[in-house]
Structure 1
């Protein structure tokens, strides 16, 4: 038996279900990664994320080659070409089966379904594994057998299911079939590397080893205080693992296993810092389940359909000022500039800038969702869409429409001394900690683009006038 393993957002050797199973039941293994230009353009994928993926592919290709596994890099223009490309490679390599780790957004699901149909018609066995979640979609249901729309209820059932699922995973790569080491041909990869991005090397070194080193450091230091430090952007209080989870150089199971080890095996008791971080892993699972159970969110639709009545503004000039960090609201501008400079944004600030865009500027949340995906190194459709719809009060378990973060209050609370603002908005570096959050007129820095109090009131009134359907409240 010879198996072709198709790598996607699972760029690692350890705890890789598709690869591990191939190592168990195959006499030989081939590997493939496909770069689809249409996919990158239409979803979109940030250039910094592409560069991060390509650096991971270089390392992965070398690691697989050391085991005698050849990683083939294929390039296609459209998604329609993928099934034929996979089949042709499988036949060229004399593979009997194809292994993939599931991806849950609708386009990816349809793509994989088409690949499976094409391969099966040619007599190739296709096996699909769950990798991006701890509890697979379909296992979390309410008493009526329906999926949850509210996180708290989802979490209760998730905890019941998760303790019964084998989440523990090996820290090392599986034992591969004996083969002669080969050399990874990275000629195509060098072509893909045409636009280098220094932000990756500076802030996000690639690789499975780097991901595990960050996990270890976080477990050894910050996790026990995570509940106290995670909301302060000037403090190193988060794991910074999101880019590595997004490309799959570390798995959520490995993260959970490390957290449970630190917490003495406790899931929702024990260290508050640890349980708070585990809660974030459950949120990641929740949003992957949402795109599976409610595929309408993959079609640019709000989860709460009544919210599409909201008269979103289509002001491109105002939106551009938000994108470039030129709104005149210091914490918003600092956060947006952090994204532009590093390809990443602190999670608390993602909520702040998203609410500012949707609740103060009244710009369509889909504009912000798209901008984030076009810039984030950790861009993951499920998590990004879920976060934006939560902030805009259009999604599952959404923030009530009358809950609107005041960015100045958030700034004073979570960046009290203004250290984060000074780092990314140097025009205001000379101001004291009292004035930096809501500065007087400063030469070279714009005045506020909107009145926070007036715009908040207007948005709440507009939401209140929408024709809400009780059936969409969820459970």
Structure 2
């Protein structure tokens, strides 16, 4: 048998369900001309439509080079092809299958709407040419549809989802699987992929690893050295208290199974300490959002989860969006967070909530604008997690915070960056401001000497406007 394994956002050889199944099936065929090739499809137009960030694109390119080297050790070649969008994928796959006499295509299922439509069209095109197409469950520990409530429906609240997840989780199951080397491969020619042109804007991502060995080392280091302190440290942006593994999860350079297996290290979830349990909970949140987009494709089409929130009439000024994006709002914790995002492609999770609340409930601007900007900048951009986070903050999403919960950007800074060390790292113009005023510098007597803007809105006034805006929308939608 000749097979093709189609890589998407699952850029790893270790614990890759489609790859492992493909190697097994090809090896079992015992055919003299058996072979397996790997494929990645670059889709610049689709990436642009999905707001793929240039930094994430660069990481994809670097990762493909490393992935090619890792596949070589399994006697498999990686082919990289380019088409404009998902619409051309069925035609490309059928052409490749005809050219290389491929009988079976393997891929891991994705749950975003456009990706589902792409795979359905590919299935139809390959079936018409008698090529089998297998979509494997890989992205989640519990595949969407296998974790349901007592009524047989999907969970719309996180806490019971998590409770059921933990009840169903079996420590005895083998979480992580390694691929075997393909002993005979007629499609292997040892051509090394050295570099490639993605036909897409890129921004340097060298701060982030592209090889598996380094990524696994980061996971191990976090699990051993910092996971136990995660619960107490995770909300403080000046502390290196989070895993910063999200870029690798977003591109599938790490699987959630690898993370859970490393965290547990042979233990049951109940045996974890509070910090470890908190990080496990965050991994389960990622899975919760994957299940949501599977059951609610409207989320991939720009719709809010809560129907009445589609009635929100955003009242903010367009000029304020640019100031928020550039970190020029006059609220230091917001501005420092946006500077961090713009420079590094990553933002601390506590600050993601703060800046999202500020955009929607202080500036009264549409959460879609923030969602798109994040995807355009984040090296860890993941549609389900990003959409879920924004809708949670904007109180339009599933199990979101109540609309009347509005973060105060001053008190958030004072609580989670008390000495202003994070703010001063990203806003050096505030380095001489006394700690007492670092989160409200306009109250400092020497504020006029600073090269820093006045607040563009008054938080107390905007809070009242936001409450009325949400009340009006809810009233019109009930």
Q: Is the CA contact 2:341–2:377 (under 8 Å) kept in the aligned structure 1? A: yes
Which of residues 97, 100, 111 is equivalent to 1:93?
100
Q: Is the CA contact 2:328–2:335 (under 8 Å) kept in the aligned structure 1? A: yes
* 1:193 to partner: Cα distance: 7.5
Q: For residue 146 of structure 2, what is the aligned residue in structure 1?
A: 139
Cα 1:328/1:470, change in 2 over 3 Å: closer
1:315 aligns with 2:328: no
CA distance in 2, matches of 1:103, 1:218: 28
Query: How many residues in Structure 1 have an aligned counterpart in Structure 2?
Result: 465
Which of residues 368, 378, 381 is equivalent to 1:379?
381
Which of residues 171, 177, 184 is equivalent to 1:178?
184
Q: For residue 132 of structure 2, what is the aligned residue in structure 1?
A: 125
Q: What TM-score comes out, normalization by structure 2 length?
A: 0.93
Cα 1:357/1:24, change in 2 over 3 Å: same
Q: For residue 113 of structure 1, what is the aligned residue in structure 2?
A: 120
Q: Is the CA contact 2:57–2:201 (under 8 Å) kept in the aligned structure 1? A: no
Which of residues 283, 293, 296 is equivalent to 1:291?
293
CA distance in 1, matches of 2:157, 2:202: 41
Which of residues 239, 245, 255 is equivalent to 1:241?
245
Q: For residue 14 of structure 1, what is the aligned residue in structure 2?
A: 14
Structure 2, unpaired ranges of 5+:
28-34
SS for the counterpart of 2:435 is coil
SS for the counterpart of 2:79 is strand
Q: How does 1:143-158 map to 2 (within 5 A)?
A: 143-158=150-165
Q: Is the CA contact 2:230–2:276 (under 8 Å) kept in the aligned structure 1? A: yes
* 1:292 to partner: Cα distance: 0.3
Compute the RMSD of aligned alpha carbons.
1.9
Structure 1, unpaired ranges of 5+:
none
| 1:212-251 per-position Cα deviation (integer Å, ceiling 9, x unaligned) | 0100110120001100001111111111100000111110
Q: For residue 473 of structure 2, what is the aligned residue in structure 1?
A: 466
* 1:207 to partner: Cα distance: 2.0
CA distance in 2, matches of 1:286, 1:468: 29
| 1:185-230 per-position Cα deviation (integer Å, ceiling 9, x unaligned) | 547x4322885533x11x2121222210100110120001100001
Cα 1:260/1:64, change in 2 over 3 Å: same
SS for the counterpart of 1:338 is helix
Q: For residue 215 of structure 1, what is the aligned residue in structure 2?
A: 219
Q: Is the CA contact 1:332–1:353 (under 8 Å) kept in the aligned structure 2? A: yes
CA distance in 2, matches of 1:167, 1:317: 53
CA distance in 1, matches of 2:273, 2:463: 37
Which of residues 355, 370, 373 is equivalent to 2:372?
370
Cα 1:458/1:112, change in 2 over 3 Å: same
SS for the counterpart of 1:223 is helix
Q: For residue 393 of structure 1, what is the aligned residue in structure 2?
A: 395
Which of residues 261, 279, 282 is equivalent to 1:280?
282
Which of residues 24, 34, 54 is equivalent to 2:61?
54
Q: For residue 340 of structure 1, what is the aligned residue in structure 2?
A: 342
CA distance in 2, matches of 1:5, 1:402: 48
Q: What TM-score comes out, normalization by structure 1 length?
A: 0.94
